[in-house]
Amino acid sequence: MESGLLSSNKTQPFGEILLESIDDSLQILGEEPKNAVYQYLSTIQSLDKKDIPDRLEDFQSGLKSALGGAARVVERLILRKLFQKIGSTFKETSEYEFAEHVNEARRRFEGTRQRPSMQRDQMGQVKLKKG
């Protein structure tokens, strides 16, 4: 199941994958609270859902204002889901900053999208796939 999800993500823009990860993570609160968070961000932060990928710091501060200490837990959920969707592993660091981790995920995602497809021949040598 994950491999199909991952392969479809390779054609999706990173911003869409990030928004899906946010949506999936906020769902843990329930549908109405999730919608209330989006409404709060829109009203108080002037941050529409579609603009979140370009305004990560505003999203982070709005989430903290809306959820208090629970925001950190939701941020970690978002990051775990995001890294999973791009086929990478999220490793939490002591210098944890949400926006920096999202930008790292973006770099990894764009790096894997730009790498040419490779396959190994019978002797284990890597060769570029044509087509």
Between 105 and 123, the more confident residue is 105
Residue 33 CB contacts under 8 Å (≥ 6 apart), including other chains: 26
Rounded CA-CA distance 101/110 in Å is 14
pLDDT of residue 10: 61
Task: Report percent pLDDT > 70 for the chain.
Answer: 76
Which of 87, 106, 109 shows the shortest CA–CA distance to 98? 106
pTM above 0.95, yes or no: no
pLDDT in tens, 49-69: 999 999 999 999 999 999 999
Which of 97, 17, 95, 23 shows the shortest CA–CA distance to 61? 97
- pLDDT at 83 > cutoff 90: yes
